Amino acid sequence: MQALLALEDGLVLWGRSFTGPGEAKGEVVFNTSMTGYQEVLTDPSYKGQIVTMTYPLMGNYGVNPEDVESRDIQVEGFIVKEYHAHPSNWRAQGNLAHYLRAAGKLGVEGFDTRAITKRLRQVGAMRGLISTEDLDPARLVRRVREEVPEMTGLDLVPLVTCAQPYWWEEGSKARGQGQQTPAPDLASLWRQRTGRKVVVYDFGVKFNILRSLAARGLQVLVVPATTPAAAVLALNPDGIVFSNGPGDPAAVTYGIEAVRQCLGQVPTFGICLGHQLMGLALGGRTFKLKFGHRGANQPVKNRLTGRVEITSQNHGFAVDLTSIPDPEVELTHVNLNDGTLEGLRHPKLAAFSVQYHPEASPGPHDAHYLFDEFMKLVI
Q: Is 359 an active-site residue?
A: yes
Burial class of residue 260 (count of CB atoms within 10 Å of its CB; 0-12, 13-18, 19+): middle
- Sheet strand arrangement including 219-224: 166-167, 219-224, 197-202, 239-242, 268-271, 351-354, 341-346, 330-335, 285-302, 308-320
Q: Is 368 an active-site residue?
A: no
The strand pair at 12-17 and 2-7 is best described as antiparallel
Residue of 275, 333, 346, 357 with catalytic role: 357
Residue of 76, 109, 342, 359 with catalytic role: 359
Residue of 109, 272, 293, 309 with catalytic role: 272
Distance CA 184, CA 318 (A): 38
Partners of 335 in beta bridges: 300
Provide the 3-class DSSP secondary structure of residue 145.
helix
Q: Is 357 an active-site residue?
A: yes
Which residues are known catalytic residues?
272, 357, 359
